[in-house]
């Protein structure tokens, strides 16, 4: 079995006491790569520390998460710019995007921050990892001018409609990230997935959040990507091994690591 967790926050304090065991469990189920998205300036050190400890297995991204966009966003962006300039180890710009679920106070700033980071992705030839919550049309509007650019990336934690999936796939370099939400009882994602080619799907956990069935209610971790794989395999009526191989290849392609 070959699996890749394209989105996991294993550097957060939820894993401070048992990260070695968490990594071991991920390896045991066949996870070959774990990609770690940054949140803001407060998480960079912890993320890099985890990725350095598990170099060649865990890979860091750099970016400013939309829920961390506030009146200080210019300072935060300066830190992202500095990291991009001083280090070649980042494999993506992420996690970036827009989130209007909790608060719309900084809507305009979120748009500015997203656009700036998309520009950096093109400048540094890195993929983007997009967070979207109650903000699809706003994000699409920011991204639309870049349709003819070689922009690539992942629309992470997709929970949208078939129409929204089709609009994402207007960007030929984009894949759609599917996590534990697809296993939830009331999820409409299984029906939507049937409209999306498997060649455009990557798997993720978003650990420690969105734990898939049968462990829902517990802390999520990278090993549980196998439960998402199981459900996705059922939807596509393919073996878990085949889906694991295709989605892993898709992920490595996005991150420029496909040999």
Binding residues for a divalent metal cation: 7, 9, 95, 131, 156, 206
In this structure, the dihedral spanned by the alpha carbons of residues 64, 68, 72 and 77, taken in order and rounded to 10 degrees, is 0
CA distance 187 to 22: 27
- Nearest-CA neighbor of 32 among 209, 236, 222, 211? 222
DSSP string, 115-151: HHHHHHHHHHT--EEEEEES-HHHHHHHHGGGTTTT-
CA distance 96 to 178: 17
CA distance 121 to 114: 11
Token reading at 31: 């996870």
- Cα→Cα distances 110→35, 79, 106, 259, Å: 23, 16, 6, 36
CA distance 142 to 150: 15
CA distance 20 to 24: 6
Sign for the pseudo-dihedral over CA of 205, 138, 194, 169: negative
Annotation: binding site: 7, 9, 95, 131, 156, 206
CA atoms within 13 A on the CB side of 110: 26
């Amino acid at each position: 079995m070959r699996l890749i967790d394209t989105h996991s926050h294993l550097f957060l304090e939820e894993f401070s006491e048992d990260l070695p065991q968490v990594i071991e469990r991920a390896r045991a189920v066949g996870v070959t790569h774990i990609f770690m998205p940054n949140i803001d300036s407060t998480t960079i050190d912890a993320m890099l520390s985890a990725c350095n400890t598990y170099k060649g297995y865990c890979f860091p991204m750099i970016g400013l998460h939309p829920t961390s966009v506030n009146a200080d966003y210019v300072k935060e962006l300066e830190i992202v710019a500095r990291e991009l300039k001083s280090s070649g180890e980042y494999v993506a710009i992420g996690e970036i995007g827009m989130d209007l679920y909790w608060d719309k106070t900084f809507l305009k700033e979120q748009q500015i921050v997203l656009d700036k980071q998309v520009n950096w992705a093109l400048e540094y030839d890195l993929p983007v990892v997009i967070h979207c919550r109650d903000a699809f049309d706003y994000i699409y509007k920011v991204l639309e001018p870049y349709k003819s650019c070689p922009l690539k990336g992942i629309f992470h934690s997709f929970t949208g409609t078939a129409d929204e999936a089709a609009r994402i796939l207007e960007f030929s370099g984009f894949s759609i990230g599917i996590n534990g939400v697809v296993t939830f009882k009331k999820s409409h994602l299984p029906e939507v997935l049937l409209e999306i080619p498997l060649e455009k799907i990557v798997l993720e956990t978003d650990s420690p959040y969105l734990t898939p069935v049968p462990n829902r209610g517990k802390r999520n971790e990278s090993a549980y990507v196998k439960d998402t794989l199981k459900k996705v395999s059922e939807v596509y009526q393919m073996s878990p091994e085949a889906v694991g191989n295709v989605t892993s290849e898709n992920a490595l392609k996005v991150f420029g690591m496909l040999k």
